[in-house]
Structure 1
């Protein structure tokens, strides 16, 4: 992390921190006052999105269903596949809570970040102790991408800032029974995550 002077906020974002066992201890040893922001979405949607991104780089990848199940007839989920393992949020959070209290975290809903970006960004600003400078007037919904884009400040000029090409890809069609089986699998982990965070993300 770069040196940070009084009054500055230094931010670093790497999604794999949340699922890396060594990360909580290392960050705690660096600064136990670190504020931690975790963006989460429905783990089934997250897994399909993860698969879609990998498929774009490796077109010969087996089908989603083949990777998701150890045994399709019994419905046994293959939790060794990282696309599915990452979505077991409660297990990952347990590692972090050994070092940081839950008050050190802000859990941002990935779904609400799309449907109501100003509200979620407002929560981030509050959590960081910042004035609410970014509001709903800074966002517009891009129909093509299916995501909100950030407008430049008044008089700032320039084009709006939208998510890159890798975001908003159409997902492959997945058998509804496969999705149902995954929802059933994640349900107890989701409920535990809601209890741990004090937030119901409404994924069921």
Structure 2
């Protein structure tokens, strides 16, 4: 446990918030000494990004975000864009800290974050390309039917979704109407509805991946099925490490984090979603030149 973790655990919530704010300010003041991240995991939501992030930060050359009790993302490119680049840099280690890691472990350090809304937000690809054109982009794509149901179960569990799954799908268009357009028109705007209730829309993967494909060369994009990560975690993790530019590191065990199994979906709803996504998946597979095997 780090000193920062001990402070967090020992202090009351109000004091923790104050300490964290002081550390954020310190990070901003030292932003010029903090390189931008090397990689981003951009999605998809409910597609294994939490598990992958946990695997990545167990690598000795992947530092956690700063302050140390941040989870997997700063939410800069979608929710905190107005805070500016110095605020974003404040979340990553200094050159001196990275050099110390490299001396200790004998390899290149690679910093990053995992934010599943990044792929879905209409402005993020352009923002990342402008600020970090050399970044390596990791994408996990899950069977869109299973992803939608898992997304709904998460919202139900968090107490922000009063509707059943079929009803939530039917209400999605009205709940999110105009939100994408407003995000584009107002760069500082953040939409909870666009994030929370986009069950069906998020599974139209090519629509959201295309801006990244247009802005980044294919060698900077790693796209894999979430099911492959679940089925072959060690092999998939090793390939992602090579893609990012990190030396091999065997974790020994690869637990699944933040799992919400999709058992219990109404068969009629499943059949409708399967038919709905079929042409979108076909277009994705043609664009990428590979099969996902979700059917």
- TM-score after normalising by structure 1: 0.75
The alpha carbon displacement at 1:193 in A equals 1.2
1:156 match = none
1:15 corresponding residue in structure 2: 116
Q: Say how many residue pairs are matched.
A: 173
Deviation at 1:59, TM superposition (A): 7.1
- Residues 1:189 and 2:189 aligned together: no
> What is the CA–CA distance in structure 2 between the aligned matches of 1:69 and 1:172, rounded to whole Å?
20
In the alignment, which residue of structure 1 is the partner of 2:10?
A: none
Q: Give 5+ residue unaligned stretches, structure 1.
A: 71-76, 140-147, 150-161
- Residue-by-residue CA offset, 1:121-155 (whole Å, 9 max, x unaligned): 111012123232226xx12xxxxxxxx42xxxxxx
The structure with more helix, counted as a fraction of residues: 2
Task: Say whether residues 1:96 and 2:209 are aligned partners.
Answer: no
Q: Which runs of 4+ in 1 moved over 6 A?
A: none
CA distance in 1, matches of 2:289, 2:35: 34
In structure 2, C-alpha distance between the alignment counterparts of 1:171 and 1:118, rounded to whole Å: 24
Corresponding residue for 1:157? none
After TM superposition, list the pairs within 5 Å mapping 1:7-46 onto structure 2.
7-46=108-147
Cα contact 1:52–1:172 (8 A) shared by 2: no
* TM-score, length-scaled by structure 2: 0.53
Residue by residue, what CA displacement relative to the aligned partner does 1:40-70 show, whole Å, maximum 9, x if unpaired?
1101100000000000122761110112236
- Secondary structure of 1:107's counterpart equals strand
**Secondary structure at the residue paired with 1:19?**
coil
CA distance in 2, matches of 1:60, 1:193: 30
Aligned-partner Cα distance in 2 for 1:43–1:49? 10
Greater strand proportion: 1
